[in-house]
Amino acid sequence: MKHFMFFLVSLLSLEASHPTSYNMCISCHGKDGKNTAFGYSDVIAGWPVEKTEQVLHRYRNGGYRGNMRDFMVCITAPLTQKDLQEIAHALSLK
């Protein structure tokens, strides 16, 4: 029973750090989106929703920008259109 409870708690905490939220971007873009990822990307905090959404969409299709885009192509590949919208919205508020 104890183990089962532990299993449940682990599942719940996995859910809390939902992988399709802005949390998965923090390591490179910073908690508030104000870091330049590897000193290379622009600061992405406060971008208008449509701009971020469009850029993420283009990364997902492999068609946006620079030398380091492979990172963003991998990161955006599994995300749905809805995920991109939610993340773009969260970033616009930072």
Residues that bind ligand HEC (CB under 6 A): 24-25, 27-29, 37-38, 40-42, 44, 52, 55-56, 65-69, 71-72, 75, 87
CB-nearer residue toward ligand HEC: 9 or 90: 90
Shortest distance, position 7 Cβ to ligand HEC, whole Å = 28
CB-nearer residue toward ligand HEC: 9 or 14: 14
d(CA 48, CA 11) in angstroms, rounded, equals 34
CB-nearer residue toward ligand HEC: 44 or 92: 44
d(CA 58, CA 55) in angstroms, rounded, equals 5
Shortest distance, position 10 Cβ to ligand HEC, whole Å = 23
Residue 64 has, within 13 A of its CA and on its CB side, a CA count of: 18
Shortest distance, position 16 Cβ to ligand HEC, whole Å = 17
